[in-house]
């Protein structure tokens, strides 16, 4: 199981929110590159980089931060937040993203998102399917769509999506443990059909203790995104180094 630390960016700074609420913003470091280098120094190979300004503005904003981290580390970066147009995607990949995550666009503009999957392949485009009481949350989690999470994922599975990030919003930033039951349901539901390829599910939200990681691995999660637990020293980089 891949360990994927998260860096969320507002005004070029490394921050964390609670349940996606911008009013709860806490700045952890003025220099995201410094944080990324610290992760890399601990043997971590992957990074989940979120442009929170972009999510609000509905277009890419912090691509310079992406460019800086991509050019000065060897981290494989998946990038998301406000990617709405082909131009946004072009900028993200040109700035060094290895993968991009699309959430709201996968609900609101399916034809564009499906076009991205066709053009770049299901291994480069990640489906963001964040859960708000079982419904897919969109628009920086400010809206709840009519789509149920599991049918939504299964539908995109048929369109050849491979990677799915699922955050249970009620758990995000709470440090109370992840949504094991939700991930179990998704993995079981999306591996039953022999006609569909299995999805690679990346768990996100609520990670609070190193002991939760083997449980997620046992469920079949392909990766886990860890944010606040690292910044609040609930999980040390030494512990992650051993797990990696």
- Rounded CA separation 49/172 (Å): 16
Burial zone of 176 (CB within 10 Å; 0-12 exposed, 13-18 middle, 19+ buried) = exposed
Structure tokens at 171: 């758990």
Q: Which of 88, 130, 147, 172 is catalytic?
A: 130
Q: Which of 8, 51, 53, 168 is catalytic?
A: 8
172 is catalytic: no
Angle at 138 between CA 134 and CA 141, to 5 degrees: 85
Count CB-CB contacts under 10 A for residue 86.
12
21 is catalytic: no
- 224-235: b or e for each residue (b if 16 or more CB lie within 10 Å)? bbbbbbbbeeeb
Backbone angles phi, psi at 118, to 5 degrees: -65, -45
Residue 199 contacts residue 153 (beta carbons within 8 Å): yes
* Residues identified as active-site: 8, 130
């Amino acid at each position: 199981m891949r360990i994927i630390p998260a860096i969320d960016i507002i005004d070029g700074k490394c921050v964390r929110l609670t349940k996606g609420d911008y009013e709860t913003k806490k700045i952890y470091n003025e220099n995201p590159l410094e944080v990324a280098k610290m992760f890399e120094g601990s043997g971590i190979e992957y990074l989940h980089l979120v442009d929170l300004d972009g999510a609000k503005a509905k277009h890419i904003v912090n691509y310079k931060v992406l460019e800086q981290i991509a050019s000065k580390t060897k981290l494989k970066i998946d990038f998301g937040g406000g990617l709405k147009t082909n131009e946004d995607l072009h900028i993200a990949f040109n700035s060094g993203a290895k993968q991009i995550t699309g959430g709201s666009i996968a609900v609101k503009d399916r034809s564009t998102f499906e076009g991205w999957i066709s053009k770049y392949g299901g291994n480069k485009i990640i489906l963001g399917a964040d859960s708000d009481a079982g419904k897919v949350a969109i628009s920086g989690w400010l809206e709840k769509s009519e789509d149920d999470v599991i049918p939504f994922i299964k539908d995109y599975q048929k369109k050849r999506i491979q990677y799915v990030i699922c955050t249970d919003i009620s758990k995000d930033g709470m440090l109370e443990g992840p949504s094991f039951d939700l991930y179990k349901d998704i993995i079981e539901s999306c591996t039953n059909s022999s006609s569909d390829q299995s999805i690679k599910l990346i768990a996100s939200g609520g990670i609070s203790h190193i002991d939760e990681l083997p449980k997620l691995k046992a469920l079949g999660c392909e990766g886990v995104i860890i944010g606040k637990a690292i910044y609040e020293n609930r999980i040390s980089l030494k512990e992650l180094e051993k797990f990696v």
